[in-house]
Amino acid sequence: MHITTCEMHTCGEPLRIIENGFPNISGETILEKIAYIRENCDDIRKFLMHEPRGHHDMYGTLRVKPDLPNADAAFIFMHNEGYSTMCGHAIIALARYCVDTNIVEAKEPETLVNIQCPCGLIPTYVSYSNGLSGRVRFQSVSSFVLKMDVCVNVPNIGMINVDISYGGAFYAFVSTDALGLKVKSGDALKAVEIGQAVTNATKKIVKVEHPESEDLGFLYGTIIYDRTELKSNDLVRQMTVFADRELDRSPTGSGTAAHIALLYAKGLLDLNCEKTFQSIVNDSKFTGKIVKEAKCGNFNAVIAEVSGNAYYIGKNSFTSEDKDPLKAGFTVR
């Protein structure tokens, strides 16, 4: 096997962009393509995401042919557990990548890149000046609150209240004070285990359904946030645990869109009022705001705009040897 990649990060969260070496895949729609890869090529996901070429918190993407008429490019997202429906940190990096590799013709002062991902079409805008791409902003799919104040019994924690909101993927939201945590790197390992426990407990009692597609109806992870700052500060601190105990280094793009919808539903955020969302990593920040109200099925929804910066960190050429007993990749947790 020989696969080449471009490596980027958005606010510290890695993105491995597969450029060459992936076999041809079947499927008319992007969701059908994911199903085909899951059944026939999942070994390549493990090859690239798992050790020794990746790590437990690696994230990757594969460009595929769009099936929406207005899409400039389409991408499938992958991680340690499988595949996701939306990834905001990836969208921010991929928009720069599309401009810099001439997938989309660059225009000053801002270039529109329409990116198709499994949850829908994401209009993305790349600032561009003097031949250089810069900060990126994207507008989410319709984001909405599924349920609020759901009482969940979490092992070793007890009864807590969670909110469930959608921003391209569904997340359970729980405050730090309910869990005895702080949004800081020193609490990251505890947050991983507790966040996963919250996700598992919530899945047992809440049926997560998307009004427009059953393929989008699953709980992707848990976002732990500092509730004390919401009313008095323009800064929201949060950390996201998703997939199989994967900890996002960025503030999480789809999670930020979901959080914006939740804040709006609770009367804590007004239209076009910008907030900053920060992860556990210093200087890892997104800004977000509501650009308009919307509907998703019978749900009141919003279109959230999230912006951030992505950077190139290198190129890779991955191979395997037939005699290598660990050539398929492995995990240690």
pLDDT in tens, 291-306: 999 999 999 999 999 9
pLDDT per position as a tens digit, 109-153: 999 999 999 999 999 999 999 999 999 999 999 999 999 999 999
pLDDT per position as a tens digit, 149-174: 999 999 999 999 999 999 999 999 99
Q: How far apart are the first and last CA of the chain?
A: 25
Instruction: Supply the pLDDT for residue 122.
Output: 98
Catalytic residue among 87, 98, 117, 119: 87
175/132 same-domain check: no
Cut 0.75: pTM above it: yes
134/159 same-domain check: no
Please check whether residue 332 lies inside any domain of the structure. no
Asked about 87 being catalytic, the answer comes back as: yes
The number of folded domains in the chain is 2
Residues 112 and 103: beta-carbon distance below 8 Å: no
With cut-offs at 50, 70 and 90, classify the pLDDT of residue 1: confident
Instruction: Supply the pLDDT for residue 282.
Output: 86
132/164 same-domain check: no
Instruction: Supply the pLDDT for residue 228.
Output: 72
Q: How far apart are CA 111 and CA 73, in angstroms?
A: 14
Angle at 265 between CA 262 and CA 266, to 5 degrees: 90
209/264 same-domain check: yes
CATH number (domain holding residue 301)? 3.10.310.10
- What's the domain range around 134? 2-140+312-316
109/253 same-domain check: no
Q: Smallest Cα–Cα separation from 300: which of 273, 269, 261?
A: 261
- Evaluate if residue 229 carries a pLDDT over 70: no
Residues 59 and 90: beta-carbon distance below 8 Å: yes
The stretch 190-210 carries a mean pLDDT of: 96
Q: What percentage of the chain exceeds 90 in pLDDT? A: 93
Please check whether residue 324 lies inside any domain of the structure. no
Q: 287, exposed or middle or buried, with CB in 10 Å at 0-12, 13-18, 19+?
A: middle
Q: 23, exposed or middle or buried, with CB in 10 Å at 0-12, 13-18, 19+?
A: exposed
Please check whether residue 331 lies inside any domain of the structure. no
Q: Which amino acid is at 105?
A: E
Please check whether residue 116 lies inside any domain of the structure. yes
Q: Chain-centre distance of CA 129, in angstroms?
A: 27
Q: Which amino acid is at 27?
A: G
79/189 same-domain check: no
Instruction: Supply the pLDDT for residue 190.
Output: 94
Q: Smallest Cα–Cα separation from 225: which of 233, 215, 214, 213?
A: 233
107/237 same-domain check: no
pLDDT per position as a tens digit, 254-313: 999 999 999 999 999 999 999 999 999 988 999 999 999 999 999 999 999 999 999 999
94/6 same-domain check: yes
Residue corresponding to tokens 């001439």? 102
Please check whether residue 74 lies inside any domain of the structure. yes
Please check whether residue 321 lies inside any domain of the structure. no
Can you list the alpha helix ranges (DSSP code H) found in the chain?
30-40, 42-49, 88-100, 176-179, 188-205, 253-265
With cut-offs at 50, 70 and 90, classify the pLDDT of residue 333: confident
Instruction: Supply the pLDDT for residue 281.
Output: 93
- Mean pLDDT (the chain) is 95
114/193 same-domain check: no
10/158 same-domain check: no
Q: Smallest Cα–Cα separation from 144: which of 160, 119, 120, 168?
A: 168
- Evaluate if residue 211 carries a pLDDT over 90: yes
Instruction: Supply the pLDDT for residue 72.
Output: 98
- Residue 53: phi and psi, rounded to 5, are -85, -25
What would the DSSP string read from start to end of 122-176? EEEEEEEETTEEEEEEEEPSPEEEEEEEEEEEETTTEEEEEEEEESSSEEEEEEH
pLDDT per position as a tens digit, 46-78: 999 999 999 999 999 999 999 999 999 999 999
100/124 same-domain check: yes
Please check whether residue 221 lies inside any domain of the structure. yes
61/129 same-domain check: yes
